[in-house]
Structures are given as structure tokens and as C-alpha cells.
Amino acid sequence: MTTAAIIVAAGRGTRAGGDIPKQWQIIGGRPVAAHAMARFANHPAITQLILVLHPDDIDTPLWPREPAATIVAGGATRAASVQAGLAAAGPDIDTVLIHDAARPLISDAVIDRVLAALATSVGAAPALVVTDTLWHGAEATVTGVQDRTGLFRAQTPQGFHLGPLREAHAASTGQETDDVAVARAAGLDVSIVAGDEANIKITTPEDFVRAAELMRHTMTSLPDIRCGNGYDVHRFGPGDHVWLCGVQIPHTRSLQGHSDADVGMHAVTDAIYGALGKGDIGQHFPPSDPQWKGAASHIFLEHAVALAASQGFSIGNADCTLVCEYPKIGPHHDAMKAVMSAYMGIESDRISVKATTSEKLGFTGREEGIAAIATVTLIKP
């Protein structure tokens, strides 16, 4: 069973206040919708992420470009927006999960329960049993009591087999408040699975405060993402080649250092140590120790990668900039990415190696040495 997650983010959310729609307001360091997007994108059962945007938002920087998603324009109603998302589902998709972008605290457990129910049902959705007494009222006066037997508070994601839901939407009035209502109007049965009290929908300004507090209590279930920077410099001396990002490049001089002076690999290594809070190369491989004299820099890089793995981190990406007038880096770009990929254990398209000059300024401009700057992202699920 292949599944697409459709994040409906085309509403305006005016009751929540603020200068921008509620789904793009910041909570926990990123837009509200980004939390749900990341949860579905990281779920092993989700093969496609679809983000339905208001047409006015598509060409703005409001929505997050990561994780990658299929972007479609929504319609004038929620039903129209969902239909646009359904139309964007890939040809291999069997089931869909439709989720409100304003629910940032969706958990893997709820997603799993909906998916499990779809193995035997055409539709399934999470809900919570109503436990509070319900009143009818008029003009701030209680006029009656509503029997709460059999009542549930609906949540998302609401999951369905794709074909039947498309047919249900095609026959709908377009005024239904959610996809369960659309499905039931078409005669489809929908199973109820247990929801989650933390899976709140942000509707009013007060909900941002509540969601932020819940997020602090559940932060351990969110990915641990670290970012580290590295910077290194080596001067030129006698020689006929340089080592840069694991590639030996012929040159009129060589870089000087205790090891092989691979300034690019050193910067990336220090970025990994920095993201881990574990110092730098000098702490792990002291230059005062003669065993590291002339050592190949991949030894240091592999140590940093292994240290990250031992703490449960994988490398998301690495970006290294070499600052020099010569040698020219372009002809060796692909080889550098391939070597770094092999030592770091990640795909080469997650590694960037690029070069810039300093416009003849400073020590690099005077061709006295080469500098490197690197940034690495570490991710622990």
C-alpha cells in the first residue's frame, strides 16, 4: 500500500490573528505547517508529500521549501483544495492521508493507527471521545443538555483509499467541513481510531501558547537537528601538489601542515565536531602527537563521522567552500564530491564543494595559502 500525505494549507485562518495566515506563523522555531510536513515526510510509510497552498502564497517565502513536496494551488473551499491535492497524487498511490496544516503536533502513533485501519476499511480517521457535558445555550443561558453518548471530537489525518475518495469528492456539494463528511455523503464507511489530545488544531491566538507548551513537553519525539561550522587555513610551502577534499591536485606549491594539510576536509571535519559539541581536530588528533605527522586527513573525517553515528546522528548534508586564487577547483569538483561521499557515507548530491577567490585581497589573494569554510547538518530521528 503506497500512501500520499496531503497537507491542506490554503486557508487564511483569520481567527488566529497575526499579519500572516496561521499556518505560516512561527512556533517552536519554524512555521506551524512545517512541523506536520516534517512528521509525514519522515514517516516510512509516506511515499509522496503534497502541500496545498493558497494561490497568493505560492510565490512567497512563507512556506518551507524543505521537506520537498508536490506543490498545488488550492481552491475557494476546503473541499476544492482537497480535490486539488487528490489530483496531484502520483499514479502509484493507493491511499491518502489528508491533514490540516494547523495541526503541528501530529504523532507517528496516530498516523500508524489510521494506516493500520485502512488495511481493512475504505476510510479511517482519528477522534477523541467527548467526555465533557454538552449544553445547548442562547444569549449566554443554558437552554438544554446534549446527550454525549456516541459523540467524538474529529481530528486529522483522515485516511482513505484514493479511488473511492476521488469519486466521493466528485459527487459532493463542496460544502462539507471535512473528508469524513464527504465520504459518508457518498455512502462510504469510515472507521474511528484513537486520536491524541496533543493533536490540537490552532484556531485562536491562545492556541499558539497551548501548542508551544505541548511542543516543549513532546520535544523528545521531534528530530534532533544540529548545524556545525568549520574553518581552516593552511599556508603554501615547497612542493608540487595540494590535497583538497581528498583529491591530489598538481600545483607549483604544497600546503603546509602537521598532516597532509587538506584544508577542505579539515573544515568539514571540524563542522561535524562542532555540531556534536566535541571541539575540533586538534583536540582529537593533537599536532604534538608525532603519529599524526603527515597523516591522511580522511582519518580525521572518518573519526568525526563515526563519532556522530555513535550518538545516533546521520549527516544530512555538507557544504564546503574553498577560498583560493589557484589551483582551479572546477575541473576537480566531481572527484572531490565522490571522495567525500565515500568517506562520509552519504550520497554525493548531499555534498557541495565549491570555490571562490578573495579578489586578490588578503593572504589568499596574495596566494600565500588556502582557506576553507564548511557547514554540516546532523540529524537524529
Which residue is associated with the grid cell 488550492?
74
Instruction: Kindly state the greatest CA–CA separation across the chain.
Output: 93
* CATH H-level, domain 224-380: superfamily: 2-C-methyl-D-erythritol 2,4-cyclodiphosphate synthase (3.30.1330.50)
Q: Is 279 exposed, middle or buried (0-12, 13-18, 19+ CB in 10 A)?
A: exposed
The stretches in the chain having pLDDT less than 70 are: 218-222
217 pairs with which residues across the strands? Answer: none
CATH of 3-221, one of 3.90.550.10, 3.40.50.1820, 2.40.30.10, 3.60.110.10: 3.90.550.10
Give the start-to-end residue ranges of the domains of the chain: 3-221, 224-380
pTM over 0.85: no
What CA–CA distance (Å, rounded) separates 370 from 324?
5
CA 104 to each of CA 26, 63, 97, 157, 254: distance values in angstroms, whole numbers, following the listed order: 11, 14, 15, 11, 53
